[in-house]
Amino acid sequence: MFDLSGKAALVTGASGGIGGAIAKALHKQGAIVTLSGTRADALEQLKAALGERAHVVAAKMDDAADIDRLAKEAEAAMGKLDILVNNAGITRDNISMRMKDEEWEKVLQVNLTGTFRLTRAAMRGMMKRRFGRVINITSIVGVTGNPGQANYAAAKAGLIGMSKSLAQELASRGITVNCVAPGFIATPMTDALTDDQKKAILGRVPADRLGTPEEIASGVVYLASDEAGYVTGQTLHINGGMAMI
């Protein structure tokens, strides 16, 4: 089950906690992976840890030309692109009353526009080969909202609507487009929270613990597999029961 041997995958934001786990999991299932992100040294470290079947193409997701280059170089390195995991994302949290235009725009630019551009660039080859898996990492807050994250929640909700539209456009070509929506996951980002903050969060999680990046990666592996070929336009929530939607 879920054998990805011979499949070629591109993971953005692969230097982060969740992105790294996704890349490792796809690789473990046999896929060739291209790691993308902005921190080239962290990507090279991950590549070295993976060994064979791994490539690095650093790129900035707020730069249209860089995104086109990323798609081309990833396809050139792997010979094709079957699985695209749009995981790159940033936060610029602030209450809306104080949110600057730049904070709003930057988050939309990277998390939503960048994802659209990269997906569009990847579609051509997928259409030709009649196979593709696009998996967009959204967030629970894209569905529930979150104070202080109007920009992030808007971008993540946007990804869900975008994915449903793309799913309808591309389904007849063997390309599926789905989202994975993590809840609170143990990463360097959540490590920065105070104990009180963590306690408050866990009070809302029936599983009474943070999730792990590997638990997100498992969902991605499933959606990337041949077995998930009839699943498209969906959002898989992995959140310990924090929201049941």
Q: Which one of 104, 131, 152, 184 is the catalytic residue?
A: 152
Question: Which residues, at least 6 apart from 191, have a Cβ–Cβ distance to it below 8 Å?
Answer: none
Query: Catalytic: 222?
Result: no
Sign of CA dihedral 136, 139, 145, 149: negative
C-alpha torsion 90→91→96→101, nearest 10: -40
**Binding to other proteins in span 170-189, by CB under 8 A:** 170, 172-173
**Sole binder of other proteins in the list 169, 214, 226, 227 (CB under 8 A):** 169
Asked if residue 3 binds other proteins (CB under 8 A), the reply is no
Q: Residue type for 37, please? A: G
Instruction: Centre a 10 Å sphere on the Cβ of residue 174 and count the other Cβ atoms it contains.
Output: 14
Q: 177 - beta bridge partners?
A: 134
User: With respect to other proteins, which residue has the nearer C-beta, 70 or 170?
Assistant: 170
Asked if residue 227 binds other proteins (CB under 8 A), the reply is no
Least Å distance, CB 170 to other proteins, is 8
Least Å distance, CB 171 to other proteins, is 10
**Binding to other proteins in span 122-161, by CB under 8 A:** 124, 127-128
b/e per residue, 184-196, with b = 16+ CB within 10 A? bbbbeeeeeeeee
User: With respect to other proteins, which residue has the nearer C-beta, 124 or 204?
Assistant: 124
Query: Catalytic amino acids?
Result: 152
Residues that bind other proteins (CB under 8 A): 124, 127-128, 169-170, 172-173
